[in-house]
């Protein structure tokens, strides 16, 4: 009889143990479940996964676009800051394609006369927006991906910096290194 009571007690131990507070699993713990309650508003500058709407569908269509952002010190300053963040890794600090990765990715010298004189503001904006053979897109999601990092206006500020201050910054950097 004692043997049977020991067996019954041994069989009861797991049942008793499952009643203790540590027996709750991760699914049924006190927490906020997904899609439960009131949704908090999206942070400012958040972008839907479909990307920022762009009125043109490819880089070719941007060739004749005119920069709507007037060239000003504020625009150039903002463009310079954005260039340092997004462009300098490949194009170098002053656009001369002298960064450690420039030759590996085929980055071009943005201070070159071809870029400064022959490429339109719209073409530069389109290249930033849609990317190129190696350069990623910074405006829309394409088949190759895209980061959606820069707003339409921010891309125009970068164009203002490239066209109106990059060559001066490169010259000043060259003098400073002598």
Residues 173, 81, 71, 106: is their CA dihedral positive or negative?
positive
| 133: pLDDT strictly greater than 70 | yes
Which domains are delineated in the chain? 59-177 (1.10.760.10)
| 21: pLDDT strictly greater than 80 | no
Question: Ramachandran region of residue 95, left (φ > 0), alpha (ψ -120 to 50) or beta?
Answer: left
22-74: per-residue pLDDT in tens?
555 666 666 666 666 776 777 777 766 655 556 788 888 888 899 999 999 99
In the predicted model, what is the mean pLDDT of the chain? 80
Q: Between these two residues, 174 and 82, which has the higher pLDDT value?
A: 82
Residue 148 and residue 139 in contact, taking contact as beta carbons nearer than 8 Å? yes
- pTM of this structure: 0.67
């Amino acid at each position: 009889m004692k043997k049977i009571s020991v067996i019954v007690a041994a069989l009861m131990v797991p049942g008793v143990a499952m009643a203790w507070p540590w027996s709750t699993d991760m699914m049924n713990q006190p927490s906020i479940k997904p899609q439960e309650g009131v949704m908090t508003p999206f942070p400012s500058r958040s972008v839907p996964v479909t990307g920022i709407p762009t009125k043109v569908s490819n880089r070719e269509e941007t060739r004749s676009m005119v920069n709507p952002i007037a060239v000003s010190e504020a625009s150039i300053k903002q463009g310079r800051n954005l260039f340092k963040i997004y462009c300098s890794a490949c194009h170098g600090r002053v656009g001369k394609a002298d960064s450690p990765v420039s030759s590996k990715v085929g980055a071009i010298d943005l201070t070159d006369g071809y870029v400064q004189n022959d490429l339109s503001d719209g073409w530069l904006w389109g290249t930033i927006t849609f990317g190129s053979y190696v350069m990623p897109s910074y405006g829309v999601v394409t088949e190759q991906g895209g980061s959606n990092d820069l707003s339409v206006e921010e891309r125009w500020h970068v164009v203002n910096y490239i066209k109106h201050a990059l060559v001066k910054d490169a010259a000043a950097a060259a003098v400073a290194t002598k």
